[in-house]
């Protein structure tokens, strides 16, 4: 995220922000960093990141003062002045001191990271990009001035989904009790800390930290704890109402000696019991955005898990609506008289039922429309759903999707993402934006672009941003490299009917799996001899070895 686009730089132009020079590190010393008394832990963690980055660049680590005592002389002061716009901040020099001040505590944090990126030149996604800041003997500037009002999107976040590489990359943090590929172990907690640090450095304030997370399993609960330490909002996968997936449900009842079908239609009392138990666990954490809804096993419709579910769309819509109403009643019991944030994601059948007016979504819920998975267009319900003033609206966007979309390489250019986010704002869905980022590393370009867009849509220029992104990462032939990116993004074949890219790596993944399954079925069915070679099967296209 290059703050140059969305941060308003004020040099000699704003009366409230001074443009005095400041020296953070000289040949002799690094000035101390003081955090105001009463600041939450996540502000102190941002201050520690600032001190660590200074040390990484200069070899000198500033002293961190966290008791609120402002030392005499030159120093950095980090503080919150409550009552400002949502997550706003200003960075200025006052009486020889560098002051980083937020309109709320998260604004203070984002002010710290804006200063780090703009003046220390630290890539917010350095952990994934491998870009280290340039070494410098001194950190001195003729002027320091940054300011930002409230972001364009109130809630801006990552969904860690299809995280097959993250789970296998480093030593497991524990076992997961789930019958699903690539989800047998918990992502290493050092990696989780790196993820959440990257998220806040990039200016995001929301995370869905894993797929099918089970808060009853201590190693998975620790993931949530790491996220809330950073002061961000934490939410749940769209198949996890109140934090419950089908796998959590199975684990809950297995521990009680029961093997029950996951079905709100056939076992409503048992499902409600699990919802309540999990809601009580989640309610212990601040800043939860509760997911409402009803889906089946894995990421499938509920009727795939229970053939007794009625077949009409009207009845299915009624069941889902009743489930959401019951989830709200459970929240009323578990966390009464507390501020509450709720969302429901209109994915797959949810989008269809909503488009037909068959869902009754509780008032006050953030209604989240989804894209078509490759992140190329919004689905029809986004355009056709009347906006209810008693709800707010947002969007779910895929940078990544393991099946049918990009998973190993960025496929959608920033100008297309911007087109969709601008439509979200224009059509009243600019409250919330969650981005499926999968394993993160493959999508640093898209993540950096959306960090800027969601913070400041006004004035954002996708082409200028791409040029700047390339310019910061390549020292020579920058125009040619930027053009190469544009050629790459334009190279994907567009489907004649759907008008979206295809032959993405996710498409090829599915096609390869299908071919292997077909081959395996033929072997099991003895349609080819057990001794036949793979080469022979491939040469024949996997078909029968017949003579013309």
Q: Over the stretch 246-257, which tens digit does the pLDDT of each residue have?
A: 999 999 999 999
What mean pLDDT comes out for the span 454-466?
A: 98
Q: What percent of the chain has pLDDT over 90?
A: 81
The two beta strands, 97-102 and 89-94, are: antiparallel
- Contact assessment for residue 166 and residue 117, using Cβ atoms and an 8 Å cutoff: no
What mean pLDDT comes out for the span 289-307?
A: 94
**Residues in Cβ contact with 487 at an 8 Å cutoff, skipping those fewer than 6 apart:** none
**Residues in Cβ contact with 76 at an 8 Å cutoff, skipping those fewer than 6 apart:** 24, 31, 32, 33, 34, 50, 62, 97, 98, 99, 100
The CATH number of 3-148, from 3.30.379.10, 3.30.540.10, 3.90.650.10, 3.40.50.2000, is 3.30.379.10
Distances (CA, A) of 406 to 128, 395, 400, 500: 18, 19, 5, 12
- 334-391: pLDDT as tens digits: 999 888 999 999 999 999 999 999 999 999 999 999 998 889 999 999 999 999 999 9
* pTM given for the model: 0.90
Q: Is the pLDDT of residue 488 over 90?
A: yes
Burial label for 285, CB within 10 Å (0-12, 13-18, 19+), is middle
Cα 212 off chain centre by: 15
In this predicted structure, what is the pLDDT of residue 20?
A: 67
In this predicted structure, what is the pLDDT of residue 93?
A: 96
- Contact assessment for residue 272 and residue 330, using Cβ atoms and an 8 Å cutoff: yes
**Residues in Cβ contact with 475 at an 8 Å cutoff, skipping those fewer than 6 apart:** none
What mean pLDDT comes out for the span 310-317?
A: 96
Q: What percent of the chain has pLDDT over 70?
A: 92
Question: Token pair 């920033």 is at which residue?
Answer: 414
Q: Is the pLDDT of residue 4 over 60?
A: no
Higher-scoring residue by pLDDT: 215, 518: 215
Bridge partners of 163, per DSSP, are: none
Give CA–CA dist 442/270, Å, rounded: 41
Q: Is the pLDDT of residue 7 over 50?
A: no
Q: Is the pLDDT of residue 528 over 50?
A: no
- 220-273: pLDDT as tens digits: 999 999 999 999 999 999 999 999 999 999 999 999 999 999 999 999 999 999
Give CA–CA dist 121/140, Å, rounded: 13
- Contact assessment for residue 197 and residue 191, using Cβ atoms and an 8 Å cutoff: no
The DSSP H or E segment spanning 77 is: strand 76-80
- Return the percent helix, strand and coil in the chain, to nearest 5: 40, 15, 45
Answer yes or no: CATH 3.20.20.70 is held by domain 155-366+378-387+404-429+439-446.
no
Q: Find the angle CA(488)-CA(123)-CA(226) to the nearest 5 degrees.
A: 110
> Helix (H, G, I), strand (E, B), or coil: what is residue 527?
coil
Q: What are phi and psi of 219, to 5 degrees?
A: -60, -30
Mean pLDDT over the full length of the chain: 91
- 167-178: pLDDT as tens digits: 999 999 999 999
What mean pLDDT comes out for the span 404-421?
A: 94
Please list the residue range(s) of the chain that carry CATH number 3.20.20.520: 155-366+378-387+404-429+439-446
What mean pLDDT comes out for the span 483-490?
A: 96
Please list the residue range(s) of the chain that carry CATH number 3.30.379.10: 3-148
Query: What is the band of 507 on the pLDDT scale with cuts at 50, 70, 90?
Result: confident
What mean pLDDT comes out for the span 506-518?
A: 79
What mean pLDDT comes out for the span 413-438?
A: 97
- 152-207: pLDDT as tens digits: 999 999 999 999 999 999 999 999 999 887 789 999 999 999 999 999 999 999 99
């Amino acid at each position: 995220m290059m703050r140059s686009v969305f941060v308003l730089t004020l040099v000699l132009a704003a009366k409230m922000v001074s443009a005095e020079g400041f020296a953070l590190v000289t040949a002799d010393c690094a000035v101390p960093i003081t955090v105001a008394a009463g600041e939450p832990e996540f502000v102190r963690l941002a201050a520690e990141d600032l001190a660590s980055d200074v040390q990484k660049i200069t070899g000198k680590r500033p002293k961190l003062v966290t008791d609120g005592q402002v030392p005499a002389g030159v120093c950095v002061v980090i503080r919150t002045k409550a009552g400002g716009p949502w997550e706003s901040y200003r960075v200025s020099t006052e009486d020889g001191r560098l002051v980083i001040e937020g309109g709320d505590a998260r604004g203070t944090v984002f002010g710290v990271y804006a200063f780090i990126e703009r003046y220390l030149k630290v890539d917010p996604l350095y952990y994934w990009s491998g870009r280290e800041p340039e070494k410098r003997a001194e950190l001195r500037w003729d002027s320091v001035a940054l300011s930002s009002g409230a972001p364009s999107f109130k809630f801006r976040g990552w969904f860690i989904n299809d995280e097959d590489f993250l789970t296998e990359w480093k030593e497991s943090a524990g076992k997961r009790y789930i019958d699903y590929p690539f989800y047998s172990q918990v992502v290493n907690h050092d990696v989780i800390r790196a993820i959440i640090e990257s998220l806040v450095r990039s200016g995001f304030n929301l995370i869905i930290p894993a797929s099918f997370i089970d808060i009853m399993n201590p190693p998975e609960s620790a993931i949530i704890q790491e996220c809330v330490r950073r002061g961000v909002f934490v939410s749940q996968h769209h198949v996890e109402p109140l934090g419950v997936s089908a796998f959590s449900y199975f684990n809950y009842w297995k521990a009680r000696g029961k093997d029950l079908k996951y079905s709100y239609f056939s076992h409503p009392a048992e499902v409600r019991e699990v919802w309540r138990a999990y809601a009580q666990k989640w309610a212990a954490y601040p800043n939860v955005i509760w997911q409402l809804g009803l889906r089946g096993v894995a990421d499938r419709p509920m009727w795939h898990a229970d053939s007794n579910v009625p077949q009409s769309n009207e009845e299915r819509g009624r069941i889902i609506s009743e489930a959401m109403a019951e989830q709200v009643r459970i929240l009323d019991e578990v966390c009464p008289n507390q501020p509450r944030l709720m969302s429901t994601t209109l994915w797959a059948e949810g989008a269809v039922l909503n488009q037909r007016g068959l869902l009754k979504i509780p008032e006050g819920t953030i209604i989240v429309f989804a894209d078509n998975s490759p992140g190329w267009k919004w689905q029809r319900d986004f355009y056709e759903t009347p906006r209810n003033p008693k709800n707010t609206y947002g969007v779910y966007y895929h940078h990544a999707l393991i099946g049918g979309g990009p998973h190993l390489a960025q496929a959608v250019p920033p100008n297309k993402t911007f087109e969709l986010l601008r439509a979200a704002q224009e059509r009243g869905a600019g409250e919330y934006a969650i981005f499926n980022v999968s394993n993160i590393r493959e999508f640093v370009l898209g993540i950096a672009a959306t960090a800027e867009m969601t913070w400041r849509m006004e004035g954002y220029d996708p082409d200028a941003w791409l040029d700047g992104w390339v310019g910061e990462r390549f020292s020579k032939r920058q125009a040619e490299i930027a053009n190469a990116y544009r050629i790459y993004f334009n190279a994907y074949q567009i489907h004649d009917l759907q008008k979206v890219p295809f032959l993405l790596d996710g498409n090829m993944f599915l096609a390869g799996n299908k071919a292997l399954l077909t081959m395996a079925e033929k072997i099991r069915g003895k349609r080819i001899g057990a001794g036949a070679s793979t080469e022979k099967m491939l040469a024949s296209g996997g078909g029968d070895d017949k003579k013309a």
